[in-house]
Amino acid sequence: MIDLNPSRLWLLWVVTLLFLLLEIIGLFHKRLRAYFNAHPKLWNGIDLWLCIWVLFLADQYMAWWWAVALSLGCTIFFDIMMGRKKK
């Protein structure tokens, strides 16, 4: 675990929440979802960065193997949700 000062920890929280918000909006906003479906490399890049930021953030609060599990679980969940057909 890397000990971060409070200002860097706040930055880590903000960036992680912004990527998470972008993924959630990408799932539910019709035009943005269509854009991400048309550009899958962009979606995969955002998904990768979310995985990395969640890993860094979770590593501050829990053991590294739980952080990896949480990070991969979050990435797999959003990947599956993006692949599902919207009714």
pLDDT tens-digit readout, 27-79? 899 999 999 999 999 999 999 999 999 998 888 888 888 989 999 999 899 88
Q: Contact 79/47 with Cβ under 8 angstroms?
A: yes
Per-residue model confidence (pLDDT) at position 82: 86
| Residues 6 or more apart whose Cβ sits within 8 Å of residue 64 | 1
Per-residue model confidence (pLDDT) at position 60: 85
Please give the model's pTM, rounded to 2 decimal places: 0.81
Confidence of residue 6 (pLDDT cuts 50, 70, 90): confident
- Distance separating alpha carbons of residues 83 and 5, to the nearest angstrom: 38
